[in-house]
Structure 1
Amino acid sequence: MRRRTILVLGAAALFLTACSTPNDGNPTPSVGGTSPAPSSWAGQVPGPDVPKVSVPIDLTRFRQVPCDALTSTQAQDLIGPKVEATPRNESAGPACVWVTPSTTRPSINVVIGNGPDGGTAAVYAAKGGAYKIVEPLEPIEGYPVTAYEVLAKRAEGGCAVALGTSDDQTVTVTAEQSEGNIGKKDPCDAARQAAVSVLATLRAAK
């Protein structure tokens, strides 16, 4: 089982990394961690077509330290051996971005969120409105994962996914590929793989 996990994480790094483009300034990922959170859906029960979360995850700790959402080992497996984590305050809530120093690609951005955002139901409801594309991906051990398009666009090597941690809460995981992988790998596969690591960390927290 351990060998399988290592192989999966190593594959994720291949999705994200290739020849990163140097940048003389500070790393500023162009793909934001925009939350899929129409507030009017907060507290509502998911409809019959919306996957439910049977074991909710308490995100309180990670709102205080969002960069704990990935361990240093997980971040290196996803991006590469040299990676830095930087906490951010976004409109949706606490966030953290992982990026190689002096580059903007590849990167992982995780937004924990300030509170209930309507969960996966809100993401589904926004299809055709706020989001041009809403695509359910394979769940991760019973937790729904949904790709949606706002700022992150597949053609540009970026993808955002909403990881359902309860029926009324999601965690946003955005991946941006290195320039060498754009058009060669599906960035939503990379975003989902990053969500696998994030979920493992969230569930392991005491």
Structure 2
Amino acid sequence: MRARLLPIAALAAVALLATACAEEDGQAGPAPDGNGQATSTPHEDGSADAGTDLPHSGAPAVTDPLPKSVLDGDPCDALTQEQLDMALGSGTPRGSRADLDATGPGCDWNSAQTDFAAIQIGFVTETGQGLSATYANTRPQQDVFEETDPVAGYPAVKYQRTENNDECSMAVGISDEYSVTVHLASSVEARERGTHPCDSTYRVAEMLVNNLKDKA
């Protein structure tokens, strides 16, 4: 049995409905992608569309941005085997690519120890709007959407489709244009221990961003 990595498909449907409603009201905006992010095409220099002021929609500015080059390479190499085993249990197999044309590269891992523990990360390189797209499009669709302590010095938010869910997602802005996402599904054992999934997600996000900082 594979773990339950559901937010991409679920948010895609919700985002499309939200866009349709906005267009009916005469307020069409950038089309969201499968992560609920508004999409715009970055220029060759990596900047967002000229008409887009960043940040927007209440998203915080990134004061010490990382270069886009830290997101080069295979996202399945973004976490070490030791880090994966720490998060998902020993013997975690190599991840599978989970790329999305509208957002960018991604990878997911399933625990070898339990049916339900899993991690998915995404490098949001294609929207050109970083956390601003998350604030504009993901926030309205979530029961829980809260800023967290900075992740390795970078602004972040956590969100859940329903409160008391055993899954949690985080988005971390590494620049005003680019972000990374982490989605985690808790193991049965973690839930029995009372470990909140967002606490586990934060730890994975921190490991991920520190690894990216090492590439800068």
TM-score (norm 2): 0.70
CA RMSD of aligned residues (A): 2.7
Give the structure with higher Rg (CA).
2
Among the aligned pairs, what percent are the same residue?
A: 25
Deviation string 1:50-76 (CA, Å, 9 cap, x unpaired) is: 322122223446453011210111111
Amino acid in the other structure paired with 2:200: A
**Corresponding position of 1:176:** 185
Amino acid in the other structure paired with 1:57: L
Richer in strand (by share): 1
Q: Does 1:159 align with 2:134?
A: no
Report if the CA contact (8 A) 2:166-2:191 is conserved. yes
**Corresponding position of 1:145:** 156
Q: Which one is further off, 178-187 or 164-173?
A: 178-187
Amino acid in the other structure paired with 2:160: E
The CA deviation at 1:28 is 4.5
**Looking at both structures, which has the greater relative contact order when contacts are Cα pairs under 8 Å and sequence separation is at least 6?**
1
Q: Does 1:44 align with 2:53?
A: yes
Amino acid in the other structure paired with 2:5: S
Q: Does 1:79 align with 2:54?
A: no
User: Which of 40, 47, 67 is 2:76 aligned to?
Assistant: 67
Q: Does 1:124 align with 2:135?
A: yes
Equivalent residue of 2:164, what SS? Answer: helix
Any gaps of 5 or more consecutive residues in structure 2?
9-33, 42-47
Any gaps of 5 or more consecutive residues in structure 1?
1-22
Deviation string 1:14-70 (CA, Å, 9 cap, x unpaired) is: xxxxxxxxx3xxx34434455352126954312495322122223446453011210
User: Which of 10, 19, 30 is 2:5 aligned to?
Assistant: 30
Report if the CA contact (8 A) 2:186-2:197 is conserved. yes
TM-score (norm 1): 0.73
Report if the CA contact (8 A) 1:37-1:117 is conserved. no
Q: Between Structure 1 and Structure 2, how many residues are aligned?
A: 179
